Structure 1
Amino acid sequence: MPRKTMVEAIRDAMDVCMQRDANVVVFGEDVGYFGGVFRCTQNLQQKYGSNRVFDTPINESGIVGAAVGMAAYGLRPCVEIQFADYMYPAYDQIVSEAARLRYRSNGQFTAPLVVRMPTGGGIFGGQTHSQSPEALFTHVSGLKTVVPSNPYDAKGLLISAIEDNDPVIFLEPKRLYNGPFDGHHERPVTPWARHPLGEVPDGHYTVPLGKALVRREGAAVTVLAYGTMVYVAEAAAEETGIDAEIIDLRTLLPYDLETIVASVTKTGRCVVVHEATLTSGYGAELSAIVQENCFYNLEAPVARVTGWDTPYPHAQEWDYFPGPARVGRALKAVMEA
């Protein structure tokens, strides 16, 4: 089976969907001739022409607004916001139009569109290129929110998202674009050395939205993570020797309640890890889900390991990220509680 980076897997997904369905269109800033700032759309315009893969002005609100209109009239837009940090001008279109179209039209119209965004830090991009805004989307009824952690899932999830009849926010961790992240490193030292590139089948396949995956089985504590933090959690479990079960959520909304509850019921302990800030982050929702559904099975309070409650600190980027040391301390704390 071919080994590919996440960038190549994402490109494959769009290529497969465009081959299968002439209604799939791709557009955004620099995605055409240039192939995207991270090259996720490289050569797609040459293959499918500028009517189906095209550049837009620097106008995020216009990109998503146009996609909503196209989707309502039968196309399947897959648009790129160049960095998740740039999505704020488009947030009104995402929330007020895309997310509500099915409901406000009583099912007469749908919005089968995907908004792709590189998310998170790790490239020294500073405050305006490194944010993790997933909680802003999981709060919105009518949206689905996806965060892959590896090339295989990235391709299968993106195909599922493009084929879905409702709007999907597809967040792509930048640290994983060119190879899975080595979670053992607190700093970017040989960051891709430990994990091989992902095996990604050619052609069409899907990974279902709303289904988590047990990445590492264990009996002592459940770790709920997604994106880059899956590798950090694995590294923390290995370094501490704690028998942690690591759940890769993959889809944040709809979330896989069955897998979460089954794991925490088994282990009796839970640590939540994400890169975004602590307060009102997605980890707060996960903590509430665990408390509401697993209270009588818990042996310790749910712990959260997250980014800081500060504007994104460019100079302290690798201290801001949850690393294996911080996650390891949380694992030990819940085991000792």
Structure 2
Amino acid sequence: MTTTEAIPPPPGPAADGGRRPVPRRRSRPGPAEQPVLKRFPRPARIAGYALVIGLALLYLLPFVLQVANSFKTEPDASANPLALWPATPTTAAYERLFGLSESAESVPFLRWLSNSFFVTVLVTAGRVLFDSMAGYALARLRFRGRALLTACVIGVMAVPGIVLLIPKFLVLNTFGMFDTYSGMVLPLMVDAAGIFIMKQFFETLPREVEEAAQIDGAGVLRIFWSVVLPMARPALITLTILSFQGSWNEFTHFLVSTQSEQYETLTTGLARFVSGGLGGGNQFPLKLAAAALSTIPVAVLFFCFQRYFIRGANAGSVKD
């Protein structure tokens, strides 16, 4: 009697006939799938990076010179304005700006700064509120003359601001708002560019959300405030940054709406300072220190909300 030994089946699942799955090889990405920089040879990429870095350093050079000269003495800044490091570093310019120096004539920098902050905050809040409301009305509400009003908003954007200086002065003087805070703030609280940005963004939002809110009994203001505005956060942040920067750097409007020194902002005060209204000499360190301090708020605001700014700026170019 012979016995046969059972032959074990080959390893692997029985369903596939005992064959092991062949691992797939990762295919290399084609030329169209590779990053743009990977398509160029290494020397070309190195040259490209060097060119970009060189342009970035060239762009940053004026700001570096501005900060460096603000820490120089006046003779050093006049003799070596392009030196990146002061021969004898000093904070005399900043001490004079903040009223800490008693030996030199005081500069009303803190008054300029407070006026700029006060006007900028009010103008920014007004633009965010009124521009978003007007943009939503042009994007969603159906009323007679909407197309004509939209065309007027776009037409206002094409008018240079310099041609409105005399009409602004005449209107402010007629209404008794010349040389007042109301004359500085009210004409800037609505901006055609901000209305256009918000209109374009609201048109990209899905209507189904608003229709569902209407079925639940919400009115237009409730839908706008509780439904639409939370979804428009990137556009609102973009509008906030643009409004803050525009009102902070505004010069021509304040030039025709004010006359007294108590209403001077950073732009008008620095203009009078540069023209020699606060003493003789070039005063390079003092002027550049004031200019450097005036750029800090806008730079901090932009870098803190940079990703929202880019997202909101690109939102109007994509539609569902």
TM-score (norm 1): 0.21
More helix by share: 2
Q: Comparing both chains, which one has the higher relative contact order based on Cα–Cα distances under 8 Å and sequence gaps of 6 or more?
A: 2
More strand by share: 1
Compare CA radii of gyration and give the structure with the larger one: 2
